[in-house]
Structure 1
Amino acid sequence: MDESHLNKNQKKTSWVVVLTFLTMLVEIFFGITSGSMALLADGIHMGSHVLAIGLSWLAYLIVRRVSRKGKFTGDKNKILSLSGYSSGLMLLIFAIVIMVEAIERFFYPVSINFKEAIFVAIIGLIVNIISAFLLHHDHEHSDHNIRAAYLHVIADALTSLSAILGLTVAMIWDIPFIDTIAAILSSLVIIKWAIGLLKGSGSVLLDIEQKHHSHGHHH
């Protein structure tokens, strides 16, 4: 990773951190003032992504600091992979939490304010789509750090999308379990991504050469 890519990726990541953080604040604020559980829950979820993407941003900062000082003798790319690995673990936890919540809802259904929940999910989706565009990176110069931030955003978009679809179907055709099924399916996909990220970044950390090095970034 050369300086210009680090710089570009750091900028992208910092914008996304700010955007996600502001959305989180707005959602938590309105969640509390309007007594909306959906907004509050989504705001808290956003918080976990703020932490993960903030970690990615921090990793760029550290890499650029050590690049300038020149005292660091290790492989600088490994800092990015370590951040990506940690972020991957967070993603895995995020997916499992959603799955557990969904299964709990299946056994103890709560009454959902559909219109409001769908509205919240749409806000989340829009923010995540903007973030995904911001974080979009050319795979050739991809590092596990920006990939991790990107996956967090896409994962959140996926959960928002599955919530929108699930809630809409539940509201129109009165199928109560559909949003639980949607949440579990999206969790499984996110778990698959997280494991891919852990494998990719883990192999860099352990100096395991991957056969398809330049193109080893398929979803």
Structure 2
Amino acid sequence: MQKYLSHQPLVKKCHHEHHSHEHHSHHDARSIDKKILRISLIMTFLMMLVQFVYSILSNSLALLSDTLHMFSDVFALGLSFFAIIAIEKFKDKQKTFGYFRLEILVAFVNALTIVLSAIFIIYEAIEKLFNPIVIDVKTMIVVAILGFLVNAFNAFLMFRGANLDNVNMKSAFLHMMSDLFGSLVVIVGGIVIYFTNIYYIDTILALILSLLLLRWAIKLLRKSINILLETSPVDIKSVEELILKHRQVCKITDLHVVEITNEMFVATLHIEINIENLVEFEILYKELSKELLEHFNIGHITIQPSMVKKENQ
């Protein structure tokens, strides 16, 4: 029975071909994730300082918006890095599932920072539409290209080596991709402004980028909130149907399926059963546990039975 009481996320037998970690354990995957996050954190922090200085000097709102995205990236990468360290190092007997849920909290905070940053940029962009200012376009383009190269390198590292099935790493990767796109938008916008001298293009690009960021952030926010509210990660009705297919199960009186972190589903169920003895229940338990694991990736199953008398007795 112990095999159906996993206190670790499940290790998939295979991943998509573009993931290089398809045969690694979760411990190996987190070690790789930690190295990638450390490199990305240092590079992003340094680039953020450069962009901030030159966004002020060039008066570019689009460049400033990209700098704010980089700040949220630094914050996100730092939290993601801390979450992995906490899972590996911290031990607390009161936390019966460890610190895995910390990954979800980090994803929630990361998404929230993106939302707040986007709202601030939208506010600034609207103000600049009414009060446009001259922009140092050459500086804007050069710095944006540097930012693009840093973001492209970090995004490539994550895409090739990180466990993107994990919501924590996915939130960090989304930060990188949003910033990569942001740098590209600033570069294109800078080139257009250089040849047209239409400075409000900078503001329009900042608005477009912010709205796209909001869309990504809200999606991530919704997923992390669902996990924190212990919304079932699988279809409850399908789980009930699978359980009731067993002739020994008469009724499901209570059923809960929650997600602790990515690939770590926990199920508790109270069922009324019609069996002869404990040996029969153990067989039923193993069958149910095996099926729930195979069909729904539920790796931690607890069953509380209540006996009912047979009708002919």
1:86 maps to 109
**Change in 2 beyond 3 A, CA 1:106/1:19:** same
1:217 maps to none
3-state SS of 2:88 partner: helix
Indicate the RMSD between aligned Cα atoms, in angstroms. Answer: 2.8
Q: Does 1:59 align with 2:83?
A: yes
3-state SS of 1:77 partner: coil
Q: Does 1:150 align with 2:173?
A: yes
1:164 maps to 187
Output the CA distance in 2 between the equivalents of 1:21 and 1:124: 11
1:101 maps to 124
| Per-residue deviation, 1:27 | 4.3
TM-score if structure 1 supplies the norm length? 0.83
**Higher Cα radius of gyration:** 2
| Per-residue deviation, 1:210 | 3.4
Percent identical pairs in the alignment equals 34
**Change in 2 beyond 3 A, CA 1:35/1:169:** closer
Output the CA distance in 1 between the equivalents of 2:190 and 2:69: 18
**Change in 2 beyond 3 A, CA 1:101/1:137:** farther
Q: 1:46 aligns with which of 32, 55, 70?
A: 70
| Per-residue deviation, 1:181 | 1.7
| Per-residue deviation, 1:80 | 0.5
**Quick check: 2:80–2:168 contact (8 Å CA) kept in 1?**
yes
**Change in 2 beyond 3 A, CA 1:19/1:141:** closer
Output the CA distance in 2 between the equivalents of 1:57 and 1:120: 27
Output the CA distance in 2 between the equivalents of 1:106 and 1:170: 15
**Change in 2 beyond 3 A, CA 1:173/1:124:** same
| Per-residue deviation, 1:26 | 4.1
Aligned length: 210
Task: Specify the code of the residue in structure 1 equivalent to 2:138.
Answer: K
**Change in 2 beyond 3 A, CA 1:159/1:97:** farther
**Quick check: 1:38–1:120 contact (8 Å CA) kept in 2?**
no
Q: 1:16 aligns with which of 26, 40, 60?
A: 40
Deviation per CA, 1:101-123, whole angstroms, max 9, x where unpaired? 22222111111011111111111
2:134 maps to 111
Output the CA distance in 1 between the equivalents of 2:50 and 2:133: 24
Q: Does 1:200 align with 2:223?
A: yes
Deviation per CA, 1:48-91, whole angstroms, max 9, x where unpaired? 3212211111111111113xx36331364311011011111011
2:208 maps to 185
In structure 2, the gaps of 5 or more residues are 1-8, 10-25, 236-261, 264-313
| Per-residue deviation, 1:138 | 7.6
**Change in 2 beyond 3 A, CA 1:161/1:200:** same
More helix by share: 1
TM-score if structure 2 supplies the norm length? 0.60
Output the CA distance in 1 between the equivalents of 2:46 and 2:129: 31
Deviation per CA, 1:152-209, whole angstroms, max 9, x where unpaired? 1111122222212222212212333222222111111110100111111121222212
2:243 maps to none
**Quick check: 1:162–1:179 contact (8 Å CA) kept in 2?**
no
In structure 1, the gaps of 5 or more residues are 215-219
More strand by share: 2
Task: Specify the code of the residue in structure 2 equivalent to 1:113.
Answer: D
**Higher mean C-alpha displacement, 198-207 vs 123-132:** 198-207
